[in-house]
Structure 1
């Protein structure tokens, strides 16, 4: 039998295979990208990848919906699911990062927690801000574990041989007499004097090169910035190699900051090593 006899003029063979589904490839791609973003959104900070994949997934899903149009077999469900997963991955990534940042800020010793315990703005009387804060327990343990020199003992601080020669616990009157612009302290001015021998090369300015710190027995860190007195005097004389000079610094600390655990430390701007003295 001749099969052509059943064909009418203008007719054609029926297409073989399944009916086409416009936009299916785009929808599948959108779903794959959205799932990848959903997996990565749980990794803190690296989950920024989820934000990029969300944009790609939404773009592919919208393209699939547009291409499918009103076709009855268009992959609308896949496209909508892809968009939903993309949005979910962004929300989860944002939540994970927010939780990690909040936990970090609330941890002891974090930059924000230290900053919150140090209100450094000048007070109503125009005094310098309170450059002090509570030290975390772990940091205090590290400080107490460091070698410590006694008053009168010499220690190496960078290119200098330094000796703590004097500690005046209540030096408010002396500091104000030396520099009336120092103002009234919050607590009381403490004056420390060091003998310094220059063993290095090139003349140096001690008041600019030395970085002193006070660690109180009350567990707080105090900065010399709380005492704004100019103890170096006019001209800021330089210390030449081989010479011995005097370096003075002051702190504004309460009486309870003194005790067996109180320390004063020195380091120079060119060295990272810190040297500690135990206060008498």
Structure 2
């Protein structure tokens, strides 16, 4: 029995017991936190903050050009900018992709700039409109040098000639009385004396549109004086023999005759011109000029 205990077989039987502590150390080994176990897919990166920043910046960019609402776009742009910066910092620390935070950052900046620029444009337009309304509230509008030169270059029709004005009317200026003060004062006792002198214009119109029209609403008549100012019928509140308000609503082919008057300084009627244009036209090329002499 003694020799058998020293045999290689006995040594082999004892080998597992010798290696048990090493196996225990391997069994107790744990993966450091933050790293996937061997054979497992890496954990998904969290992009919630970047997504929120991107959504907010997109909304701000869409709203930045809408009047009034673009005030909200500025606030949303600032919020999106803060979220994008935070998401970019987190992505840098975690070594994540930075495409989404960078996109949110760029769009937020563009939204803020777009909202501010659009606000400046809207304020400028509103100021221009306000100034134009204020200047024209008395029926007199000053002309720029460019407008004067353009008016001088446009060929004027003679009295009694007809021309289409806009897409819905054919207009004929039959007569222009540059000193109609006595005639207008004789029409009614309530007519007051002008500050300058009354100019009386006789017109004939034909409606050529597809629906219906009121020429006293649809057409504007203006006198361009030699003093580089435009005078419209709102300068004259006198009662006329053929007031425009008495022209009925016209159908296609309907015709009407009426008069308009302006209160114009005596020195401004020399070399004056008359033009008719659609009321809602903002294009000077729609004007048709007539010579008043």
Q: 1:105 to 1:136 in 2, by over 3 A?
A: farther
The structure having more radius of gyration, on CA atoms, is 2
Q: TM-score, normalised on structure 2?
A: 0.56
Residue 4 of structure 1 corresponds to 23
Once the two structures are TM-superposed, the CA of residue 227 in structure 1 deviates from its matched residue by: 1.0
1:162 to 148, 156, 172: 172
The answer to whether 1:14 aligns with 2:42 is: no
**Structure 1, gaps ≥5 residues long:** 121-129
The answer to whether 1:279 aligns with 2:292 is: yes
Please list the CA deviations of residues 115-134 of structure 1 after superposition, one character each: whole Å capped at 9, or x if unmatched.
Answer: 2322x2xxxxxxxxx12212
Once the two structures are TM-superposed, the CA of residue 237 in structure 1 deviates from its matched residue by: 6.9
The answer to whether 1:101 aligns with 2:119 is: no
Please list the CA deviations of residues 187-222 of structure 1 after superposition, one character each: whole Å capped at 9, or x if unmatched.
Answer: 33222335x486979xx9876776422122222221
1:266 to 253, 271, 276: 276
Q: Secondary structure at the match of 1:117?
A: helix
Residue 231 of structure 2 corresponds to 222
More helix by share: 2
Residue 111 of structure 1 corresponds to 129
In the TM superposition, 1:70-89 aligns within 5 A as none
Aligned CA-pair RMSD:
5.5
Q: 1:59 to 1:264 in 2, by over 3 A?
A: same
Kept in 2, the 8 Å contact 1:264–1:277? The answer is yes
Q: TM-score, normalised on structure 1?
A: 0.58
Q: 1:192 to 1:62 in 2, by over 3 A?
A: same
Please list the CA deviations of residues 100-129 of structure 1 after superposition, one character each: whole Å capped at 9, or x if unmatched.
Answer: 3355456xxx433322322x2xxxxxxxxx
**CA distance in structure 1 between the aligned counterparts of 2:103 and 2:253, rounded to whole angstroms:** 76
Residue 194 of structure 2 corresponds to 185
Q: Secondary structure at the match of 1:213?
A: strand
The answer to whether 1:248 aligns with 2:259 is: yes
**CA distance in structure 2 between the aligned counterparts of 1:4 and 1:193, rounded to whole angstroms:** 116
Once the two structures are TM-superposed, the CA of residue 153 in structure 1 deviates from its matched residue by: 4.4
**Structure 2, gaps ≥5 residues long:** 1-18, 37-41
Q: Secondary structure at the match of 2:175?
A: strand
Once the two structures are TM-superposed, the CA of residue 257 in structure 1 deviates from its matched residue by: 2.2
